[in-house]
Structure 1
Amino acid sequence: MSSHLEDTSLRFAMGHFATGVTIATTLEDGHDHAMTANSITSVSLEPPLVLVSVRNDSGWLDAVDSSGVWGISLLPESGRPAASWLSTGGRPLYGQLSQIPHHRGELGVALVDDSLATLECRTYAAHEAGDHTLVVGEVVASRADARRDDPLIYYRSRYTSTR
């Protein structure tokens, strides 16, 4: 038996793990960089840390390495078009958020207006792990809309909802 698991086998198995969908943003040299991310997790409450898993060849990773600050917007069902757009390969480098209503947080990063919650982070550590880097951020600001309970879910390679 081979010691290497086939990529498609792992992808299929992990596709059965439902996750929330987020938009990760950073600001570098006056330009917003954004991507869809579903591999985020809370790491610690003291200090307040979260992590996002990012492909090593991602332009977002390069930009956040330079800026040291980033934001996470947890998306509701209505965020599906934004999530689809920001997971599309080959999209323009600049103007990625031009069609997505957003505002600036305390750190200057873009945060999606229509979000369940937002986090603003300063990079705390980065750990290369295979073809991804785990970017750990110290949360310096967070907000949540207690009235919302309509998360966008990613399950079996497609967007869905809890309804």
Structure 2
Amino acid sequence: MELDGALTAQSLDEANPSQADTDAFRVLSSDIAAGVGVLSTVLRRRDYAATVSSFLSVSYDPPTLLVSVYEESRICEAVTASGTWALSLLSNDHRGTVNWLASPGNPVEGLLAQVPFRRGPSTSSAVISSALAWFELKTVAVHPAATHQLIVGQVLSMGRDVPAGSATDPLIHFGGGYERLRR
């Protein structure tokens, strides 16, 4: 399989993918464009937050979202333990926040000290200021999936911090980096 030029078809051993299979998947799946958000929660009076790009709307009735998080991460442990969380969808103006919350090894104490946010009305989780949209959720199911947990939440409250129709610059994760959606 060639990763720099044209790719040839490759079958995987489902039970035991090779390191080459894993590396090829990482390269190919980086071409999935995805929105960028911040997942946050409060556990034992401490804020937890992380940048995420694996989330989706599951249902409109009742309003339900899903987020995928690495099972050994602090945010996964905190969200599953607290049972409530927030998801803030971000614009290109939030790159600094996104990079900070995506940094491995950032501190637990004072994590949000340099991030503009307010408390959500239903969960008190951090809602990032000027979010294109935000949702507060209660966990209704958690499903293991390989090295991740799929956390399904029913929406408790939602809103936007920008006027309707002005959310024209969402931040997108594509090709291993952050990009603007050009219209």
> Which bracket does the TM-score occupy, shorter chain normalised?
over 0.9
SS of the residue aligned with 1:92? coil
- What is residue 122 of structure 1 aligned with on the other side? 138
Map 1:73-84; keep pairs closer than 5 Å: 73-84=88-99
- What is residue 3 of structure 2 aligned with on the other side? none
- What is residue 50 of structure 1 aligned with on the other side? 65
- What is residue 92 of structure 1 aligned with on the other side? 107
**Structure 2: gaps spanning 5 or more residues:** 1-10
Q: So what's the TM-score if we normalise by structure 2?
A: 0.86
Higher RCO (Cα < 8 Å, 6 or more apart) = 1
Q: How well do the aligned residues superpose, as a CA RMSD in angstroms?
A: 1.2
State the identity %. Answer: 36
Amino acid at match of 2:125: V
Give the deviation of 1:35 after TM superposition: 0.3
Runs of 4+ off more than 2 Å: none
Find the aligned partners of 1:52 and 1:14 in 2 and give their Cα distance: 17
Q: So what's the TM-score if we normalise by structure 1?
A: 0.96
Larger Rg: 2
1:18-52 deviation line (CA, Å, top 9, x unaligned): 11100000000111000000000001111211000
Give the deviation of 1:112 after TM superposition: 0.3
Find the aligned partners of 1:119 and 1:149 in 2 and give their Cα distance: 19
Map 1:56-71; keep pairs closer than 5 Å: 56-71=71-86
1:48-72 deviation line (CA, Å, top 9, x unaligned): 1100000010111111122111000
Which structure features the higher share of strand residues? Answer: 1
